[in-house]
Amino acid sequence: MRKLKSFFIAILIMIIAISFINILCEKLIKDNFTVGFIRLYNDLKNESTFIQKNETKQKNVFMLYGSSELGTTNIPTNPINYFPKKGSNFIVSPVGKGYMQDLSHVIKFLANPDLRGKKLAFIVSLQWFLYPDGTPTDDFQMNFSELQFYEAMKNTSISSDLKKQICKRVYSLISNNSFYSDVSIYTKLYSSNNPVSKVEFALLKPYFSLKCALLKFSNNIKAYKLAKNYNNIYKAKLPKLTAMDDKKDFAAAEKLGNKLANNNSFYMLNSYYNKFIKNNLNKIKGQDKNSKLVNSKEYGDLDLLLKVCKANNIKPLFILMPVNAKYYDYSGIDKSTRDAYFQKTKKIIASHGFDVVDFQSHEYEKYLMEDGMHLGWKGWLYVNKEIAKYYNK
């Protein structure tokens, strides 16, 4: 009995110590917030709910969610580099990374209750819908945050039924990986209607809470180091505000695109074309001709995201990212296939009452994209116009 008592006292002391260090780290992270840090595209920042919560709270910060296109930080028109502007005096914080799709953002949105009532932008990629089963298992696991999942499940704004739907979907994508055995148990028990499973979940709830605290502890220490590092090396202030100037901006984008993407008929970045396309043209031609786009499970994940936004009063502008039409015609995803995708996706989003824009009318335009799928010099300018319009709406 004495040993058991000592064990529980030790656990209690550990929880208190972890909680204290978490509070201290979070204060230090807040103290080290800078413009450079907010604009940072970084894996650790992407995994830290605390960082995202605090960026959401910052004045004149606009959250932009998406996937690998956010990482085109070399492009001057990327909104991370482009804003603030006169009349649109805000800076953009990117959240997302390569191979991250709707379900990953469902978890991020739920884990950040400070998004309630906030405007943001969410970029949807056509490539997410290429696979009938939706997000590939390996891609989802690569981007999965166990900490954010536990934090998401604490959100009381959504119904238990919706949480069960999310748990079933997560379980289907992580249950084959022993590294996520705890999450597998959590999702399986939570989504079950079996009374025994409900009892088991209730008994294990303290364990999951402790696991969440430990993960938060580890993440906060790393996040503090990251914030401190950027506070030390990024002291530059924002440049003097200039106005958005379509004529000037598009002329500059045309000039830069012509300089960097002039050795191929797809108007792709020269270096990308040389490395990935030039020697594979015969292989690429027509390789995707059987892709349908409109039959993917990704639509179910998109529907979950829309339901979460509605339940949490999140106000996203959905941006359907265009593609390099010349390249997609070549690879076999023709205009009629793309049209069907855009029409279906816009209809689903609009049916939930959210704003949605697309740039399909520009898809054959030179320098719209920097490769086949990532926004380029002109593409980001079209997005920037919509972001500014939505922010000032």
Strand partners, 65: 95, 122
Asked whether residue 110 carries a pLDDT value surpassing 60, the answer given is yes
Q: Which two tokens stand for residue 338?
A: 């793309």
> pLDDT tens, 170-208?
999 999 999 999 999 999 999 999 999 999 999 999 899
Q: What is the pTM of this model?
A: 0.94
Of residues 241 and 130, which shows the higher confidence score? 130
Tell me what the pLDDT averaged over the chain comes to: 92
Asked if residues 367 and 382 have their Cβ atoms less than 8 Å apart, the reply is no
Tell me the C-alpha distance between 144 and 238, whole Å.
33
Q: How confident is the model at residue 29 (pLDDT cuts 50, 70, 90)?
A: confident
Average pLDDT, integer, range 3-30: 76
On the 0-12 / 13-18 / 19+ scale of CB atoms within 10 A, 43 is: exposed
Banded pLDDT at 137 (limits 50, 70, 90): very high
Helices 181-190 and 160-174 cross at an angle (nearest 10°) of: 140
Q: Give the long-range contacts of residues 258-265, CB within 8 A, separation 24 or more.
A: 258/367, 261/367, 261/370, 261/376, 265/326
Kindly report whether the peptide bond that precedes residue 94 is cis, defined as omega within 30 degrees of 0: no
pLDDT digits (tens, 9 = 90+) for 64-100: 999 999 999 999 999 999 999 999 999 999 999 999 9
At 233 the pLDDT is 47
Q: What is the pLDDT of residue 162?
A: 97
Please state, in angstroms and as integers, the Cα–Cα distance from residue 247 to each residue in 83, 251, 284, 335, 370, following that order. 17, 6, 36, 29, 20
Q: In what order do the strands lie in the sheet with 61-66?
A: 91-96, 61-66, 119-124, 315-320, 355-358
Check whether 234 has a pLDDT greater than 80: no
More confident: 229 or 209:
209
What whole-number distance in Å separates Cα of residue 379 and Cα of residue 385?
10
Which of 150, 85, 180, 135 is CA-nearest to residue 297?
135
- pLDDT for the residue 190: 97
Identify residue 309 by its one-letter amino acid code.
C
More confidently predicted of 347 and 16: 347
> What pLDDT, on a 0 to 100 scale, did the predictor assign at position 299?
98
The tokens of 382 are what?
Answer: 């079209």
Q: pLDDT digits over 274-309, tens only?
A: 999 999 999 999 999 999 999 999 999 999 999 999
- CB of 302 closer than 8 Å to CB of 102: yes
Does residue 13 surpass a pLDDT of 80? no
One-letter amino acid of 221: I
Q: Determine the 3-state secondary structure of 236 from DSSP.
A: coil
* Cis amide linkage into residue 84, ω under 30° from 0: yes
Looking at the predicted structure, is the pLDDT value of residue 4 above 70? no
Structure-block tokens of residue 40: 């940072």
The residue behind tokens 């064990």 is 7
In three-state secondary structure terms, 369 is strand
pLDDT of residue 358: 97
Kindly indicate the confidence band of residue 226, based on its pLDDT and cuts at 50, 70 and 90.
confident
Written as six digits, the tokens of 17 are 């110590």
Better-scored residue on pLDDT, 227 or 180: 180
On the question of pLDDT at 244 being above 70, the answer is: yes
* Strand bridging mode 91-96 / 61-66: parallel
What residues have CB less than 8 Å from 144, skipping those under 6 apart?
104, 173, 174, 180, 183
Cα–Cα distance measured from residue 262 to residue 367, given in angstroms and rounded to the nearest whole number: 10
Q: Kindly state the average pLDDT of the residues 33-55.
A: 87
**Alpha-carbon distance 138 to 73, whole Å?**
26
Q: How far apart are CA 287 and CA 291, in angstroms?
A: 9
Cα(158)–Cα(307) distance, rounded to whole angstroms?
Answer: 9
Rounded distance, CA 323 to CA 364, Å? 9
User: Any idea what DSSP says for residue 375?
Assistant: B
Kindly state the DSSP code that residue 121 receives in the 8-state scheme: E
